[in-house]
Structure 1
């Protein structure tokens, strides 16, 4: 592994650890401190400002023919995607959300087949089947399990994963044509404009006087860590390694989430999370991880 690839793997490792921690951290202040829509409003606003600060130093224009694709990416890949994710996380278990989101590579495969005409092997189809059953099992039993799980929350997170997977495929032509920071800054700005009608009422209803230092630290973590840094880390990694390698690191998210929920439940005394770890979720997690592994694994070339 050369030095640039080594740094790319470190970037992916850092990004997905940040994502994994985010499930329990972000849920910790919703909805008693801030509503999901207000949280998303602040998240996209903060990240947009940071991206556009970097964008000042990048002189690149967007062709008019690409405006429609940018708008679709901003609306579906940023605004709707993140609104669904935070509203879903608000209603369900951090573990459930982290497992369901690992189905993104499965959906990327499906969208790539229909939109980009990419070939699908029997190994990848098996991965889709196993991962799909795992995600379905988790969602179906969401309202039958104790803990903080819910079917509605799981379905919202699943919908978020679908929109995000579509965005990853649909944005590829833009990423090839322009510098990544140019695309991301515009996509986030468009996403922020779309989220304003949803976020403003929630912002106005938020009692900021009840915010503690912990509340502000969580918001900063989500804006700077989960959004700004992770996107930058992924941009860097995608310039050095294949997208399938990037996708395989999503395996880490449920693992980190399991660890964080266990710490919260058994070390910090958050008893509501103690029942979020059970055999159904462990089996679902293993099935989804196995499915994604089969999809992203590169077949070995036969030696002659």
Structure 2
């Protein structure tokens, strides 16, 4: 298999893990763990795993000037991203969360234009506008089914979650040309854990694993190892080979997987606003990807 093929396979596996994660993580909250308790457990275990594995993969030392970028990646890609994701998911439904996440490539391209100087034509501008409209429509809908106690707040936090993660993807890409995925991730997780720790302290006093069922142990293991350690690593490694835009395309697997699981196992309903929002977001990204510059980048993957 070519390097490009391995990168795409890594992104497919990552997408599958993330797609199921919406329901797995939702099953932990609030019956077994609170959002900040999950973030602490996820961050600590993943941090230890990253540093242990990185020890066996020797790489060049990180330049001092790059630690500022790594710290920013830890803040946006770990601390803010995960806090908004778990708190938001606790308030809204997994399908809503996955559909809002499908707008991430639009946000990535917007940050690429603002921060990396990527040119924006009329198609890109139209695509960004449509994608933003679809995400906004979904965020503002407050009557969706799915068990969330406050969908407006939850959906807003999920939107901020993808804004933070999109910024992380744009910032981490240049580092991939200099360092291995393990080197980058061990520092990103270290900085992210440090930033998140002060907000997790209160919840630690109430954290207990005595009430955990077999499902709860499976769920926390899946969240920590599957969607944190494995998925972050696969996505970061793939960015050495494919563009940020290509990596972003695979986010579209997530709402499909989440919706399929929800409809089959949890009687989740796809309402008209959800369908309309998805159409707007997907059309927006289609227009963005019609840009010749994007097609040229896609050919490299």
Residue 195 of structure 2 is matched in structure 1 by: 194
Q: 1:153 to 1:174 in 2, by over 3 A?
A: same
Structure 1: unaligned runs, 5 residues or longer: 267-273
Out of 249-258 and 58-67, give the one that drifted further: 58-67
2:275 to 257, 277, 282: 282
Shift of 1:103: 1.5
TM-score normalised over the length of structure 2: 0.91
Following the alignment from structure 1 to structure 2, what is the Cα–Cα distance between the partners of residues 8 and 256? 20
Residue 270 of structure 1 is matched in structure 2 by: none
Shift of 1:146: 4.1
Residue 60 of structure 1 is matched in structure 2 by: 60
Deviations 1:210-246 (A, max 9, x none): 1111111101101111111112222332233333221
Matches within 5 A, 1:52-91: 52-57=51-56, 58-91=58-91
Deviating above 6 A after TM superposition, structure 1's stretches of 4 or more consecutive aligned residues are none
RMSD of Structure 2 on Structure 1 (CA): 1.8
Q: 1:44 to 1:201 in 2, by over 3 A?
A: same
Following the alignment from structure 1 to structure 2, what is the Cα–Cα distance between the partners of residues 7 and 111? 27
State whether residues 245 and 296 of structure 1, in contact with CA within 8 Å, keep that contact through their aligned partners in structure 2. no
Matches within 5 A, 1:177-192: 177-192=178-193
Matches within 5 A, 1:92-241: 92-141=92-141, 143-149=142-148, 150-241=151-242
3-state secondary structure, aligned to 1:209 = coil
Out of 286-295 and 94-103, give the one that drifted further: 286-295
Q: 1:147 to 1:218 in 2, by over 3 A?
A: closer
3-state secondary structure, aligned to 1:208 = coil
Following the alignment from structure 1 to structure 2, what is the Cα–Cα distance between the partners of residues 80 and 236? 22
Q: How many residues align?
A: 291
Residue 288 of structure 2 is matched in structure 1 by: 295
Shift of 1:264: 2.3
State whether residues 181 and 233 of structure 2, in contact with CA within 8 Å, keep that contact through their aligned partners in structure 1. no
Following the alignment from structure 1 to structure 2, what is the Cα–Cα distance between the partners of residues 224 and 62? 25
State whether residues 105 and 247 of structure 1, in contact with CA within 8 Å, keep that contact through their aligned partners in structure 2. yes
Following the alignment from structure 1 to structure 2, what is the Cα–Cα distance between the partners of residues 60 and 178? 7
Deviations 1:140-187 (A, max 9, x none): 11x133443500000001111111111111223322222222111101
State whether residues 108 and 245 of structure 2, in contact with CA within 8 Å, keep that contact through their aligned partners in structure 1. no
Is 2:35 the counterpart of 1:36? Answer: yes
